[in-house]
Amino acid sequence: MLEALIWDVDGTLAETERDGHRVAFNRAFVECGLPWHWGVPEYGRLLRVAGGFERLLAYMDERQDAPPDPVVRERLARSIHACKNHHFALLVEQGGLGPRPGVRRLIEQCLGQGIVLAVATTTSRGNVEALFPHLFGAQWRDLFRAVVCAEDAPRKKPDPLVYNLVLERLGRTCAEVLAMEDSPAGLAAARAAGVACLITRSRYFAAADFAGAAWVCSDLDAPVSVSGLTSARVDVAALRAIHARHRERDSGRAKEGGQGPEKERPR
């Protein structure tokens, strides 16, 4: 039985990467006096690394002009990252990073039908606190039973830590919840925690392979047809049907002893 929905943030609740974090990183490079710049395609490549701090370290590994000393490198990454998050908050204030289609509607429908909501994100807590008032209003904290961020879960996605912490705080088992994600790392983290995962493709992962997802769609306002249920968009009934079918398949695979990769679900 579906009891809770766990939301990823970046790319799932809002398209924050290309015009948010990426722009903020570039402004931080300028402010820190660094001749670095992340264009749209390069940032898409760097997004394979979850976590802005880890992404900076991975980038420095590629740069001849990065400090050779690992301690100096880490200190530099921390100061760039803090500066970046300051610029991200300013960008959020300027507007333009609104919720993705269907997000507000589905959140209201879930709350109205007793589905508990939570957040499992790799992003820094400060970014959630900057973004969420603009997505959900000043009372956003009332919407989510648990909000687990980078500071709570230092091992970033695809590590399942963030999902396991949310399950613990909700007091729920992995069989009772559904994750909403946009990236392969997010899908892998949810699946490693035993959680069924619905994918809403974000810009940077429009063509990614999401084998193992319970459902893949372009966004939450896309039609759903699953187990005899058809719906004009992803609503609570669709979530329940997607979750139930995935649990049946998961238990079926467990009985056969196989973990064979599933075919990606059609839109």
Tokens of 157: 């996605």
Q: Which stretch binds ligand XBP (CB under 6 A): 49-57, 58-66, 236-244, 255-263?
A: 49-57
Site pattern 151..190 for ligand XBP (x: CB under 6 A): ------x-------------------------x--x----
Q: Which of 132/215 has CB closer to ligand XBP?
A: 132
Residue 200 as a binder of ligand XBP (CB under 6 A): the answer is no
> Quick one: what does residue 121 bind among Mg ion, ligand XBP, none, with the CB cut-off 5 to 8 Å set by partner type?
ligand XBP
219 catalytic? Reply is no
Residue 10 as a binder of Mg ion (CB under 5 A): the answer is yes
What does DSSP assign to residue 176? Answer: G
Q: Which of 8/250 has CB closer to ligand XBP?
A: 8
Q: Answer for the pair 17, 23: CB distance below 8 angstroms, yes or no.
A: no
- Helix (H) / strand (E) element for 179: namely strand 177-181
Interface size with Mg ion, residues (CB under 5 A): 6
- Helix (H) / strand (E) element for 245: namely helix 236-256
Residue 17 as a binder of Mg ion (CB under 5 A): the answer is no
Site pattern 84..123 for ligand XBP (x: CB under 6 A): -------------------------------------xxx
Residue of 15, 159, 182, 250 that binds Mg ion (CB under 5 A) = 182
Name the residue with the smallest CB distance to ligand XBP: 52
Residue 127 CB contacts under 8 Å (≥ 6 apart), including other chains = 9, 16, 85, 88, 89
Q: Which stretch binds Mg ion (CB under 5 A): 71-79, 88-96, 176-184, 228-236?
A: 176-184
- Helix (H) / strand (E) element for 200: namely strand 196-200
Q: Answer for the pair 267, 218: CB distance below 8 angstroms, yes or no.
A: yes
Q: How many CA atoms lie within 13 A of 65 on its CB side?
A: 4
Contacts 24+ apart (CB under 8 A), 161-166: 162/120, 162/121, 162/122, 162/189, 163/6, 163/120, 163/189, 163/190, 163/192, 163/193, 163/195, 164/193, 165/120, 166/6, 166/118, 166/119, 166/120
> Quick one: what does residue 52 bind among Mg ion, ligand XBP, none, with the CB cut-off 5 to 8 Å set by partner type?
ligand XBP
19 catalytic? Reply is no
Residue 15 as a binder of Mg ion (CB under 5 A): the answer is no
Q: Answer for the pair 22, 38: CB distance below 8 angstroms, yes or no.
A: yes
* Rounded CA separation 224/15 (Å): 22
Active site members: 8, 10
Q: List contacts with ligand XBP (CB under 6 A).
A: 8-11, 17, 21, 50-52, 121-124, 127, 150, 157, 183, 186
